Amino acid sequence: MPDIDALNTRFGVTDRVTFARGPGALATVDITNVSAQARIALQGAQVLHWAPAGAAPVIWLSPTAKFAEGRAIRGGIPICWPWFGPHPSETTYPAHGFARISHWEVVAVESISDGETRLLFRLIPSDAARAWWPHATPAELHVNIGKRLSLELVTKNLGVAPVVISQALHTYFSVSDVRSVHVLGLDGSPYIDKVDGGKTKLQKGPVTFSAETDRIYLNSIGENILVDRGLKRRLRVAKTGSSSTVIWNPWIQKSAKMDDFVESGYVNMVCIEAANAADDAVTVAPGEEHRLGVVYAAEGLT
């Protein structure tokens, strides 16, 4: 259990960087600067909130998210690592890996300027995680909080053999109404349709939402744009080190089965995930590292 007083003594900055114990006694850090406000849980180094100054929150957090040690928090930016989805062979291993349910230590906090705060977190695997993943692959997350939000997930292979990882920054975006938004940038991309037996299909035009949507777009390296006329907002999702883009909305029936989705909660969120999943899993050679990066920017819509 992180020592909040020690964190504030070492990294806190009055009115700018404040550590606290939030719901479920989970440690959080609130960041306020001229450009934005954000909150990050130390469990999972999970961004829970980001709002550029004067703008509505960009990141969605379920109103009934459950906060408990070792339980994934519904919303924000969960880190899926070192595997995406169910473990390839072990059904008892946690879905989406263990990064999002593990403690991450704060390594550094830096105010670059009055408008940008940079934080560095390092994953501290539990004994259980070491059993699930017996590889020397330390993970770090760099977060920049400003008028843009950027994250970079770094995996280093300190072992003597190649290691295959799949991963995602599983970002939940807040939208006015998922039935009226669309995603640009995936036209012509092949995708695995997890709602239709995993068939591979080809995207035609913008991605729109009228039912449960769960797709892994492959060989997808370009920028995506989430257009939300209801919020008069365009969200740009630029990424590096990512070959897959996952698009997800659970819709009515699936979300109704989740205790951390309010009824109709699915209407106000959509996941656009910078990932390396399925055929795009990444092999990290001994002594090498892999960097998965995203930059989110909100723009007005005239």
- Under the binding rule (CB under 6 A), the answer on residue 73 touching ligand TA6 is no
- Options 39, 142, 148, 170; binder of ligand TA6; rule CB under 6 A: 170
- Under the binding rule (CB under 6 A), the answer on residue 87 touching ligand TA6 is no
What are residue 144's DSSP bridge partners? Answer: 118, 150
- Under the binding rule (CB under 6 A), the answer on residue 96 touching ligand TA6 is yes
- The C-alpha atoms of residue 118 and residue 151 are separated, in whole angstroms, by 10
Smallest gap from residue 36 Cβ to ligand TA6 (A)? 25
The residue among 148 and 215 lying less far from ligand TA6, judged by its C-beta, is 215
- Options 4, 51, 55, 95; binder of ligand TA6; rule CB under 6 A: 95
- Under the binding rule (CB under 6 A), the answer on residue 273 touching ligand TA6 is yes
The residue among 156 and 194 lying less far from ligand TA6, judged by its C-beta, is 194
- Options 58, 181, 246, 269; binder of ligand TA6; rule CB under 6 A: 246
Query: What residues are annotated to the active site?
Result: 170, 273
Count of beta carbons in the 10 Å neighbourhood of residue 120? 18
Q: Determine contact, residues 77/169, Cβ cutoff 8 Å.
A: yes
Q: Which residues contact 113 (CB under 8 A, 6 or more apart)?
A: none
Residues written for the chain: 302
- The C-alpha atoms of residue 160 and residue 267 are separated, in whole angstroms, by 47
The radius of gyration computed from the CA coordinates of the chain, to the nearest angstrom, equals: 18
- Options 121, 248, 251, 261; binder of ligand TA6; rule CB under 6 A: 248
Residue recorded with tokens 């909150």: 39
Q: Are strands 79-80 and 103-113 parallel, antiparallel or unpaired?
A: unpaired
Tokens encoding 122? 């390092």
Q: Interface mask (CB under 6 A) for ligand TA6, residues 44-63, using x and -?
A: --------------------
Footprint of ligand TA6 (CB under 6 A): 72, 85, 95-96, 170, 194, 214, 246, 248, 271, 273
